[in-house]
Amino acid sequence: MPTEIGKIGKNVTISWLGHATFHVVAPAGQRLLLDAWVDTNPLCTPEWRQKAREGLDAILLSHGHADHISDLVPLAQTTEAKIACQYDFGPWLSGKGIGSDRVIGFNKGGTIEVAGVKVTMTAAQHSSTFFEDGKILPMGDPAGFVLRFANDFTIYYTGDTSVTMDMQIIGDLYKPDLVILPIGGFFTMDPRQAAYALKLIRPRYAIGCHWGTYPILTGRPETLRECCKEFDVTTEIIPLQPGESVS
């Protein structure tokens, strides 16, 4: 079983599978995957490569880069999970044999309900392409998600992004309890930018991701905690390691 490292007290279990992929269990037992890099993810443990598939209800896709969707097709083939994504993913998914009855294509500002969870798509400042058959394919716009559970616990998964003032709006509108945000730098926010993002959002808890996978991703949770002091951020930083969970 994954290591339990702490308590957030809302009957929601969040497990980090490495890089930017998370497994979430809702209070009523629904299972969701945030992005789909599992089998080929160098940080994902052998246990989670199997466990991530078990009873999976939904997969949420933030954007089309390989470190977020490389294992989407095999996950779709071996589960019955719904796939919630930006609308322009649709043709690519259809080309992979994923039926339209499995795909919920919506867009930024829109809200759907999937696996009993209300999911709102938010803006993210990044890019979204996929390299396939010698070509670079456009994969719609990058996004993040706000997940609101039946017990009112709210997670904001920012997706890959830089810090933006939109985050203050998300904090005002949804008041997320937990924010999952990148801290690695180079391709996304580094710890100092992420600390400022937390100042804007004002959550009680935060988990850093998109770090440690490769040497170039130098940000670390302990650095994020130190950077929070500069901006008087009191958010509790939860320092997950790959395979660990918090609930």
In tens, the pLDDT along 48-66 reads 999 999 999 999 999 999 9
Model pLDDT, residue 55: 97
The residues near 161 (Cβ < 8 Å, ≥ 6 apart) are: 124, 125, 126, 142, 144, 181, 182, 188, 189
* Contact criterion met (CB below 8 Å) for 142 and 79: no
Would you tell me the crossing angle of helices 221-230 and 191-201 to the nearest 10 degrees?
60
Give buried/exposed letters for 96-131 (b at 16+ CB in 10 A, else e).
Answer: eebeeeebbbbebeeeeebbebebbbbbbbbebebe
In tens, the pLDDT along 94-119 reads 999 999 999 999 999 999 999 999 99
221: three-class secondary structure by DSSP:
helix
Model pLDDT, residue 90: 87
Model pLDDT, residue 6: 61
Lowest mean pLDDT among 50-54, 129-133, 238-242: 129-133
- For residue 125, give the nearest of 188, 172, 171 by alpha carbon: 188
In tens, the pLDDT along 158-203 reads 999 999 999 999 999 999 999 999 999 999 999 999 999 999 999 9
- 55 vs 230: CA distance, rounded Å: 43
The values of phi and psi at residue 74, to 5°, are -65, -30
* Contact criterion met (CB below 8 Å) for 100 and 106: no
Model pLDDT, residue 1: 36
pLDDT (mean) for 59-81: 96
Residue 139 pLDDT class (50, 70, 90 cuts)? confident
Model pLDDT, residue 10: 79
The residues near 200 (Cβ < 8 Å, ≥ 6 apart) are: 163, 165, 167, 168, 171
In this structure, what token pair is assigned to residue 9? 């007290």
Give the number of other Cβ atoms within 10 Å of residue 29's Cβ. 12
- 13 vs 151: CA distance, rounded Å: 13
Model pLDDT, residue 5: 53
In this predicted structure, the answer to whether residue 80 has a pLDDT above a threshold of 50 is: yes
Looking up tokens 């609308």 gives: 87
* Contact criterion met (CB below 8 Å) for 161 and 188: yes
Sketch out the chain's domains with CATH numbers: 3-246 (3.60.15.10)
Share of the chain above pLDDT 90, in %: 90
* CA terminus-to-terminus distance, the chain: 14
pLDDT (mean) for 14-26: 98
Model pLDDT, residue 133: 87
- For residue 89, give the nearest of 117, 130, 58 by alpha carbon: 130
Model pLDDT, residue 9: 66
pLDDT (mean) for 71-99: 94
- 20 vs 222: CA distance, rounded Å: 18
* Contact criterion met (CB below 8 Å) for 171 and 199: no
In this predicted structure, the answer to whether residue 3 has a pLDDT above a threshold of 80 is: no
